[in-house]
Amino acid sequence: MINILDRVKGGDITRFLEAKGVGDNCPICLTGILSISVFDPEGVMDDQAPAVRVVHTINDGSHRGYGEFLRVCSHCAFIHYIRDIEVLDFIEQEGENGE
């Protein structure tokens, strides 16, 4: 299942990854750049576009208990999943620290 989270923007995920020291280079093909999956049909929202969140559903209808944001390689289509709870916690911590 795919959700669009208006409260989490592409820029939030970028800040999270930068804070963790995670780069944009694809670890598989080594030539592509990983881009954050956002909902921006017109391509004009930049970092303010809402993030796409994936929830993997199991055959019995249950799910893992968390969702994931994703980045996709522009060259080989490798998908890098980022657990949503980590990003949401980071955003909450930013708010508490006044950043």
5-8 long-range contacts (CB < 8 A, ≥24 apart) are 5/50, 5/51, 5/53, 5/84, 6/50, 8/50, 8/51, 8/53, 8/69, 8/84, 8/87, 8/88, 8/91
pLDDT tens, residue by residue, 68-88: 999 999 999 999 999 999 999
**Domains in the chain: boundaries:** 2-96
Query: Is residue 64 exposed (0-12), middle (13-18) or buried (19+ Cβ within 10 Å)?
Result: exposed
Question: What H or E segment, with its residue span, contains residue 79?
Answer: strand 79-83
d(CA 46, CA 41): 11
Whether the full predicted model's pTM is greater than 0.75, yes or no, is yes
pLDDT tens, residue by residue, 12-35: 999 999 999 999 999 999 999 999
Write down the pLDDT at residue 72: 96
